[in-house]
């Protein structure tokens, strides 16, 4: 009764707050920060606290009396847990710990992890759509309520270690005794241009021919 009296006394103010947040005139975070910065004895802050108690009471009563409501919340909780499991599966290196010291580097690593997770969810969502479409094209019934239970936050189809193909045959080269990595022609020209550039105040630069530059570049890349 106390919660009801406290909320009804400032009901008009609560409606103004709800309308301001809904229309975007003020954000919920800004309103919460302003109320927390002030005194807890502020009438509007106390009215919000009492209104929150009423909402929690209604939620608890519905939870105990409505089985369908409990099942729907349970599905949402399971999806949240599956998303956390996907996060842990993808973040497997370094014992799933952020090793950077600086805050910016830690934030970058967290954002990269989120990007990989979102890419995985997108890939799984697209292929789930293809699978359901193929299932229905074959004439097999598939209820929408069954599809609603599917979650893209899965990782059984992901190999986070990668797949590496090794060719047992050695690469063919012009010289069988030369096993160094071949240098691209553009790299040879850039290297020759770097060598032939004169320095201010220094001796006359050494100019190399194209053949000499290719030999020197191959020696550096070996």
Is 91 part of any domain?
yes
pLDDT, tens digit, for every residue of 61-92?
A: 999 999 999 988 888 888 888 888 888 888 87
Residue where a domain stops, chosen among 65, 95, 110 = 65
Band the pLDDT of 146: cuts 50, 70, 90. Answer: confident
Is 98 part of any domain?
yes
Supply the pLDDT for residue 214: 53
- Alpha carbons 83 and 151: distance in angstroms, whole number: 9
Q: What value, to the nearest 5°, has the Cα angle with vertex 220 and ends 218 and 222?
A: 65
- Alpha carbons 132 and 138: distance in angstroms, whole number: 10
Is 126 part of any domain?
yes
Q: How many domains in the chain?
A: 3
Q: What value, to the nearest 5°, has the Cα angle with vertex 23 and ends 17 and 25?
A: 70
Band the pLDDT of 190: cuts 50, 70, 90. Answer: very low
Q: What is the pTM of this model?
A: 0.49
């Amino acid at each position: 009764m106390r919660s009801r009296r406290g909320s009804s006394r400032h009901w008009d103010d609560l409606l103004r707050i709800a309308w301001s947040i809904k229309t975007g005139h003020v954000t919920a975070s800004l309103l919460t920060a302003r109320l927390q910065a002030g005194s807890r004895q502020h009438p509007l802050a106390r009215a919000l606290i009492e209104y929150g108690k009423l909402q929690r009471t209604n939620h608890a009563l519905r939870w105990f009396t409505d089985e369908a409501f409990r099942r729907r919340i349970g599905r949402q909780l399971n999806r949240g847990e599956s998303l956390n499991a996907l996060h842990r599966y993808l973040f497997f290196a370094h014992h799933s710990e952020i090793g950077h010291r600086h805050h910016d580097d830690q934030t970058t690593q967290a954002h990269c992890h989120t990007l990989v997770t979102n890419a995985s969810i997108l890939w799984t969502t697209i292929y789930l759509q293809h699978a359901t479409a193929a299932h229905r094209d074959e004439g097999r019934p598939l209820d929408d309520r069954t599809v609603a239970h599917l979650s893209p936050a899965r990782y059984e189809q992901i190999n986070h270690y990668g797949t590496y193909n090794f060719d047992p045959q050695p690469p063919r080269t012009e010289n069988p005794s030369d096993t160094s990595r071949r240098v691209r022609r553009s790299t040879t020209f850039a290297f020759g241009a770097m060598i032939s550039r004169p320095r201010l105040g220094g001796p006359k630069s050494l100019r190399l021919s194209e053949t000499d530059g290719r030999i020197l570049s191959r020696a550096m890349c070996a």
